[in-house]
Copies of this chain bind each other. A is one copy, B any other.
């Protein structure tokens, strides 16, 4: 019987261990843990299915030539940039992702960041640390303009929640579309520079690919308002970090909240840590309590579909 079970290789970062919740597959699949480059090299030839839980991995590309019977790759992340290397991109192996799982938590996180900026919560906490009573007037968020770069499921949820708080929200998608419940308007990617001057908050919720890598450099920052804040919960390399640091230091823009970075973890001596107008968080915006279990549940459901030949949920469109 065991010989007829599909083999699922689970790629994890070292010391992560098994994702909680996968034990429900024990009778339906042969499960192998690949928590090192060597373990992946040795298990990949047997894999029918590969579950990738490390969104930063480069191991797969290095082991790719050993994939012989692979028929499906599932990434337990929203972004799949790290595994979409050319050889996989050109293959006909379907890739699915964790679309939907992180949306609502990330939207709350972004709303919390906008409110933290508007109410100067970092300033309040700094005064508190020094036991200083310092009254300041603060900003409203209602009526402020948000530009969400990326109109996928995460961007949409951000738009939806910001609108519910009375903000004016527009989105940027690959192509211009009609506005809807989430976005008052949806513009095409070629409108970015025209829209930046109007935004109080620019939120990056786009995938990392050839069109978005380095999209926010000095040219983009030069078009933003001096009072504007940048929020990046997408991927670090969409922002040119050097240009951002300069835009912040020269007051070109007023602030930034960054949950993702070109290199993660952000190195200890990076200037971003110490800038008072910057909020640095360690790639945690979407990670609500229970997210690991939710990811396993989502994979298990898709696994059941795969077993019965049903179309997979959350297929990723590979880049051209």
Which residues of A are at the interface with B, using a C-beta cutoff of 8 A? 104-105, 108-109, 111-112, 115-116, 118-119, 121-122, 124-125, 127-128, 131, 133-142, 161, 164-166, 264-266, 268-270, 273-274, 279-284, 287-291
Contact = CB atoms under 8 A, between A and B. Distances in A.
A284 B137 contact: yes
A273 B142 contact: no
B112 A118 contact: yes
A136 B284 contact: yes
Nearest to A133: B265
A140 B279 contact: no
A280 B119 CA distance: 13
A139 B279 contact: no
Nearest to A270: B131
Contact of A125 (B125, B266, B268, B270): B125
A119 B112 contact: yes
A287 to B, nearest CB: 5
Contacts of A131: 268-270, 273-274
B283 A135 contact: yes
B128 A279 contact: yes
Copies in the complex: 2
Contacts of A283: 135
A125 to B, nearest CB: 6
A160 to B, nearest CB: 10
A266 to B, nearest CB: 6
Nearest to A123: B281
Contacts of A124: 279-282
Given A104-B140, A111-B165, A121-B121, 12 more contacts: A105-B138, A109-B115, A111-B115, A122-B125, A128-B273, A128-B281, A131-B268, A131-B269, A131-B274, A134-B282, A138-B289, A165-B165
Nearest to A284: B135
18 contacts: A108-B165, A109-B119, A112-B118, A115-B115, A116-B116, A116-B121, A121-B121, A124-B280, A124-B281, A125-B279, A131-B273, A133-B264, A133-B265, A136-B287, A137-B288, A138-B287, A140-B288, A161-B165
Contacts of A118: 108, 112
A109 B133 CA distance: 18
A133 B108 CA distance: 21
A116 to B, nearest CB: 6
A108 B128 CA distance: 20
Contacts of A133: 264-266, 282
Nearest to A105: B140
A222 B293 CA distance: 33
A54 B257 CA distance: 37
